[in-house]
Structure 1
């Protein structure tokens, strides 16, 4: 029963993570860069406050009440969402029928979008194993509380990185290189943590690694917003979030298989995922851009106006 509920929750998480972010372009059309930076920052803040709140409530009233409290915050978030002034879609977009895999086709055909999606997914493959790596570090050091400290340092770094993005225009002007550079740079502190530094240095290195996660998230959001056609924006954001959630889950599974090894093995594997993501993303960026299927000028794959019997005359879009 519990496993089934978790599966349902997992199916909804991409829409929650990606679908909401896709609305920022409509909610804050004149300041998207700052909006995406603050949106990424909320993930960092939630990564700090959520686990801390769950631990406090669990210690005070038990695990059951902790789950109820977290569920209550989810319900509160749903209620707040209803207050958002989401504008009406233009009539032409409302009349479009979008096929389920149209967003994936756009990711394949749009080189920048495919590059950041692949790079960020492989990046999350490594991050999925981070809780296990933190637990292994704490066990080796004989300090159970170190698990929470390590993850909190990572989340604090991510929050700071997101805030700094409001002052770093290069992340918004050149988002694809920003993703690749930050993924590659993130591998350095993880490799240094594998050397077994003192606790204070360990926390600093994890915070430094987290610092790069903020620009990665902001740059990914920016690329999705620029490259996805308006009628496919929500689907592209949701699919991208789904890939990252799935990759993180796979990373946790692989991390479990490596849990019996020293922490340095897990940390090196996490660093390797960051480098691999940067390399794969760079390779995708270097490939020739595939034109959309259809006439010159390109019809968006998988989209056609309601009532049309063919893909001719489909909604068109231009690359940004």
Structure 2
């Protein structure tokens, strides 16, 4: 990372604004696609299991995203890879929607798998372009990461909202086609981003499996990976916990929407906070502290005795997760070797989505046993991950100090 006082070439103006537009449009489409598919199937009168299966066809392939992400680090112009991914993502989604239900379900399923495979390039892939746009200083980088967190929040909220509104006004088919239009516009904005050359020769860029080994071998990247996954797994319990807890809070089921909205608004508030006052300090340590804060807010959610306090706790959890997410983006940027930065962003994003989906599924399976059991599990896992990361760092620090204290072949002078 370049020092604040170092003279560097001026960055093209307007790059961050174009980035925010491109990222928001792409992530809105990615966030709303599943809802559109589920509504499309149910509106056609087909069974719920088919809706779930086709929805999984567009979400499950995210885990394979890293295996198409190497091109981000090898191509002469990564913008072209992301723009093409955005266009193909939209085109295959549109084709699946237009062919359903006039063809056998396997045809739209295959198209949705192709669309989902490119999803990580619209999430982590686009984020990998941000360091070259934000400017050289750590402050400008971290402020820009606040904007990036906001695009995820807006995309995840606005996407399903657009689908619901357009479906009610026109049809689920139309809502899905609106999303695909957004991906085409996003591709245009991606190509308007400032050009940045590849960080290294393509021959020096490791394959996806090797990249994952490098990430596990690096302490900061390893901690980034497992903290990101466990926090994503944990906060995924909140929407289902909101529905399950309404009886205990003395409200009806519709109030669960208020709780989840409070969480979403809190997440957006956290990203605004990072924009206004960028995170300071070591990203590795920040992740540990903020993961602990997330666990604390989850505890507040579990213990909230009234609906108003629960709403405040959900908002606090959203704020904490917004700050935590910004810290993980900073860690990916600051600790990833330049030759695999794109793959690191996509690997982390893909595994985060997988962990979140697992958390949602597990919460739905066990919440009937005890309302607060998913939250208790989430608190325990997040706290354990934070403690593990802190212990890892302390162990490494002690080793370094011991090595510095006594060097072989030197004479101590104390």
Q: TM-score, normalised by structure 1?
A: 0.80
Structure 1 pair 67/136, CA: closer, same or farther in 2 (3 Å)?
Answer: farther
Equivalences for 1:2-151 in 2 at 5 Å? 2=54, 3-7=56-60, 8=113, 9-30=115-136, 31-89=140-198, 92-138=200-246, 141=250, 143-151=252-260
Alpha-carbon deviation of 1:287? 4.1
* 2:36 alignment counterpart: none
| Equivalent-residue separation in structure 2 for 1:139 and 1:55 (angstroms) | 26
SS state at 2:201 partner: helix
Deviation of 1:139 after TM superposition, in Å, equals 6.3
Secondary structure at 2:245 match in 1: helix
1:158 maps to 2:258: no
Name which of structure 1's ranges 77-86 and 215-224 shifts more when overlaid on structure 2.
77-86
Counterparts in 2 of 1:253 and 1:120: CA distance versus 1, 3 Å: same
| Equivalent residues, number | 287
Match of 2:377 among 269, 272, 275: 269
Equivalent pair of 2:57/2:116 in contact (CA under 8 Å): no
What is the deviation of 1:151? 1.7
Structure with larger RCO (C-alpha < 8 A, sep 6+): 1
Distance between the aligned counterparts of 1:277 and 1:58, measured in 2? 41
Contact kept? 2:242, 2:259, Cα under 8 Å: yes
Distance 2:370 2:181 in 1: 38
Q: Which has the larger radius of gyration?
A: 2
* Structure 2 portions without partners, runs of 5+: 1-52, 61-112, 398-414
Moved over 6 A (4+): none
Tell me if the contact between 1:14 and 1:245 (Cα under 8 Å) persists in the aligned partners. no
The yes-or-no answer on 1:228 pairing with 2:281 is no
Displacement of 1:162 after TM fit? Answer: 1.4
What is aligned with 2:303?
A: 195
Which of 49-58 and 148-157 deviates more?
49-58
Q: Report if the CA contact (8 A) 1:137-1:146 is conserved.
A: no
Cα distance, 1:6 vs structure 2 = 4.5
* Aligned partner of residue 85 in structure 1, secondary structure: coil
C-alpha distance in 1 between matches for 2:304 and 2:336 = 43
Matches within 5 A, 1:155-194: 155-169=264-278, 171-194=279-302
The answer to whether the 8 Å contact 1:125/1:248 transfers is: yes
Mean Cα deviation higher: 9-18 or 254-263: 9-18
CA contact (8 A) 1:157 1:208 kept: yes
Distance (Å, rounded) in 2 between the aligned partners of 1:180 and 1:33: 17
- 1:138–1:147 contact (8 Å) kept in structure 2: yes
Change (3 A) 1:249 1:221: same
In 2, Cα distance between the equivalents of 1:150 and 1:127?
A: 13
- TM-score scaled by length of structure 2: 0.63
1:207 aligns with 2:207: no
1:124-156: per-residue Cα shift (whole Å, max 9, x none)?
111222222222234665523323222221111
Bigger shift: residues 106-115 or 78-87: 78-87
CA contact (8 A) 2:127 2:345 kept: yes
CA contact (8 A) 1:122 1:276 kept: no
Q: Deviations over 1:226-283 (max 9, x none)?
A: 1111111001111111121111111112112113134322222232232122123223
CA RMSD after TM alignment: 2.4
Change (3 A) 1:243 1:5: closer
Contact 1:130/1:270 (8 A) holds in 2: no
Structure 1 residue 10, shift from structure 2 partner: 4.2
Contact 1:176 1:223 in 2 (8 A): yes
Distance 1:66 1:139 in 2: 34
In the superposition, relative to structure 1, how do residues 61 and 145 fare at CA in structure 2: closer, same or farther (>3 Å)?
Answer: farther
